[in-house]
A and B are shown apart, each in its own frame.
Chain A
Amino acid sequence: MTVPENLSYTAEHEWVAIDDTVASVGITDFAQQALGDVVYVSVPAPGTAVTAGEPFGEVESTKSVSDLYSPVDGEVIEANAEIDDDPGLVNTDPYGAGWLVRIRMADDPAGLLTPEEYTALTKEAE
């Protein structure tokens, strides 16, 4: 399981890459392994306002469906269209081509986890 050093994380197993006021969001390697093969991801369309900690989409895998939670407050500016055609990208490249949405943040992010904190959390979950 990989936990890249340059990202922030949430307890809901999402990663966040912050570039100035834009947050790119996906699910972690730990999450994709636990879910198994992802068959469908629904995320909000660009223009949708999202609130940190609130569900904003879902991930369907063979065995289960899980909510996605927005890690930040703001507005969705882009959704990864390739995920729609090839949801398996979430499994094969969760931190790269498997990204889900980009959000223009309304304010500074709060309550995100460091890689160390997230790693510790996944150890507890095992």
Chain B
Amino acid sequence: MTTPDAAKPRQTPLHAVHEQLGASMTEFAGWLMPLRYRSETAEHQAVRGHAGLFDLSHMGEILVAGPGAAAALDYALVGQPSSMAPGRARYTMICAADGGVLDDLIVYRLDDEEFLVVANASNTSVADAALRGRADGHDARITDQTDAYALVAIQGPAAAGILGPLTDVALDGVKYYTSHRGTVAGREVLLARTGYTGEDGFELFSRPEDAEHIWRTLSGAGTAAGLVPAGLAARDTLRLEAGMPLYGNELGPDTTPFDAGLGRVVKLDKPGDFVGRAALEAAAQAPPRRILVGLRGGTRRVPRHGYPVLWDGQPAGTVTSGAPSPTLGVPIAMAYVEPEVADAGAAAGTGAGPGGAVPDETGPAGTAGGRLAVDIRGRAEPAVITPLPFYHRTQDRPR
């Protein structure tokens, strides 16, 4: 288990590259990470329109290996990794016994007896410790391999075109949420078609000493296609537009997967017990305590993390994430609200169903706007509930 020195954040294997690019650096979960290189809005738009290159080496990589690895993970996680074919990846969560989320994860099944669990940087030690404890009695070894991996992501509609000529993996055959071993720029990687931007893209796990070569090769090859380096600021607005949760904002120990509208990741029908089963079975049956909704701000002031949501002037929820949306040009946010507010707001605000941004013709115009608001630094600003995600790429997802 790694314990970052609070006074001195860790540097990724790409630190020299970021310095050379003149990145604005920020401390994030004990790591010194690029926040932006130039304009985060331009980086965001580059990922939507072309491609962006991200250093995600702060993410935690935990290897679970051994004859009992699949069974250990079935017990430790809410999903069912034993049902995954080698080469497949899955979004899942690790929960406490009370159903609260300890971390959200991507699990890659590398082989019959080998899984790579990718954890948030802020939770890697928690996830590692929980996995170790839960693997007790299973024939599985858990090792935190974070220091053994660099992680570079190339994301955006141009990503496959840029990466294709540089890898021996035939990208046409790489389905969404799968991984393949191969090379990029002549260096060994685990190449996965995963991401956190709402675009097509790839994540490249490599040896730390190979990361700079991979980065520079991709960067050189992609510049003409509009590839730019992109920092954590752009990553956050990209994932927010795509309606993807962020641990610490939409997810936390007081949140169940059901609260976050992600109950589908909880495989209650899998055989055997797993940590959190009883609590999650109850949560699946109980009426929701609160509902995660999308909000669109009615003014240019931005609803941000922690701001109260108001219904008829009374507190009715809390904003979990918010930002000015570069794609939509208006403030957007996710918020937990009381179920009645979610129902009434959705009915009044956006009409029924996804894509139905239809004004409510039965009530006064802007009913939700009149009743629903966010307390932005002491002033109530109108907002409307809007279906998630805020942004959905128009191209077909790779098959």
A and B from one complex: yes
- Residues on A close to B: CB < 8 A? 33, 36-37, 39-40, 42, 58, 60, 62-65, 91
Of all chain B residues, the one with the shortest Cβ separation from A55 is B377
Q: Is the CB of B39 within 8 A of A91?
A: yes
Tell me the chain B residues, 188-215 only, with Cβ under 8 Å from chain A.
Answer: none
DSSP class of B's interface residues: helix, strand, loop or mixed?
mixed
Residue in B41, B300, B301, B377 whose beta carbon sits within 8 Å of that of A62 in the complex = B41
Chain B residues near A40: list those with CB within 8 A: 300-302, 324
Number of contacting residues on B, CB 8 A?
17
CA distance A106 to B243 in the complex (A): 50
CA distance A39 to B301 in the complex (A): 9
If A65-B377, A91-B39 touch, does A36 touch B301 (CB 8 Å cutoff)?
Answer: no
Chain A residues near B302: list those with CB within 8 A: 39-40, 60, 65
Chain B residues near A36: list those with CB within 8 A: 24, 35-36, 39-40, 233
Residue in A33, A62, A64 whose beta carbon sits within 8 Å of that of B237 in the complex = A62
CA distance A65 to B378 in the complex (A): 13
CA distance A63 to B236 in the complex (A): 9
Q: Is the CB of B301 within 8 A of A60?
A: yes
The verdict on B153 contacting chain A, using a C-beta distance below 8 Å, is: no
With both chains docked as a complex, state the minimum distance between the C-beta of B146 and any C-beta of chain A, in angstroms: 26
CA distance A60 to B24 in the complex (A): 18
CA distance A39 to B233 in the complex (A): 14
Chain A residues near B40: list those with CB within 8 A: 36-37, 62-63
With both chains docked as a complex, state the minimum distance between the C-beta of B377 and any C-beta of chain A, in angstroms: 7
Q: Is the CB of B24 within 8 A of A33?
A: yes
Known A33-B24, A63-B40; further 4 A-B contacts with Cβ < 8 A: A36-B35, A39-B302, A58-B301, A63-B35
**10 closest Cβ pairs, A-B complex:** A40-B300, A39-B324, A37-B41, A62-B40, A60-B302, A37-B39, A36-B40, A37-B40, A63-B233, A62-B233
With both chains docked as a complex, state the minimum distance between the C-beta of A122 and any C-beta of chain B, in angstroms: 14
With both chains docked as a complex, state the minimum distance between the C-beta of A126 and any C-beta of chain B, in angstroms: 11
CA distance A64 to B323 in the complex (A): 8
With both chains docked as a complex, state the minimum distance between the C-beta of B139 and any C-beta of chain A, in angstroms: 46
Chain B residues near A33: list those with CB within 8 A: 24
Q: Is the CB of B324 within 8 A of A60?
A: yes
If A37-B39, A37-B40, A39-B300 touch, does A62 touch B323 (CB 8 Å cutoff)?
Answer: yes
Q: Is the CB of A60 within 8 A of B36?
A: no
CA distance A58 to B302 in the complex (A): 11
Tell me the chain B residues, 57-91 only, with Cβ under 8 Å from chain A.
Answer: none
Chain A residues near B300: list those with CB within 8 A: 39-40, 60
The verdict on B304 contacting chain A, using a C-beta distance below 8 Å, is: yes
With both chains docked as a complex, state the minimum distance between the C-beta of A58 and any C-beta of chain B, in angstroms: 7
With both chains docked as a complex, state the minimum distance between the C-beta of B216 and any C-beta of chain A, in angstroms: 26
CA distance A37 to B329 in the complex (A): 13
With both chains docked as a complex, state the minimum distance between the C-beta of A104 and any C-beta of chain B, in angstroms: 27
With both chains docked as a complex, state the minimum distance between the C-beta of B227 and any C-beta of chain A, in angstroms: 20
Chain B residues near A63: list those with CB within 8 A: 35, 40, 233, 236, 323
Chain A residues near B237: list those with CB within 8 A: 62
Q: Identify which of B24, B233, B301, B324 gathers the most chain A CB atoms within 10 Å of its CB.
A: B324
Of all chain A residues, the one with the shortest Cβ separation from B42 is A37
Chain A residues near B301: list those with CB within 8 A: 40, 42, 58, 60, 65
CA distance A37 to B236 in the complex (A): 14
Per-residue CB contact flags for chain B residues 223-248 toward chain A (1 = under 8 Å, else 0) read: 00000000001001100000000000
With both chains docked as a complex, state the minimum distance between the C-beta of B162 and any C-beta of chain A, in angstroms: 25
Per-residue CB contact flags for chain B residues 164-207 toward chain A (1 = under 8 Å, else 0) read: 00000000000000000000000000000000000000000000
Chain B residues near A64: list those with CB within 8 A: 304
Q: Could you list some 30 contacts between A and B, CB below 8 A? A: A36-B24, A36-B36, A36-B39, A36-B40, A36-B233, A37-B39, A37-B40, A37-B41, A39-B300, A39-B302, A40-B301, A40-B302, A40-B324, A58-B301, A58-B377, A60-B301, A60-B302, A60-B324, A62-B237, A62-B323, A62-B324, A63-B40, A63-B233, A63-B236, A63-B323, A65-B301, A65-B302, A65-B304, A65-B377, A91-B39
CA distance A36 to B25 in the complex (A): 12
CA distance A122 to B35 in the complex (A): 19
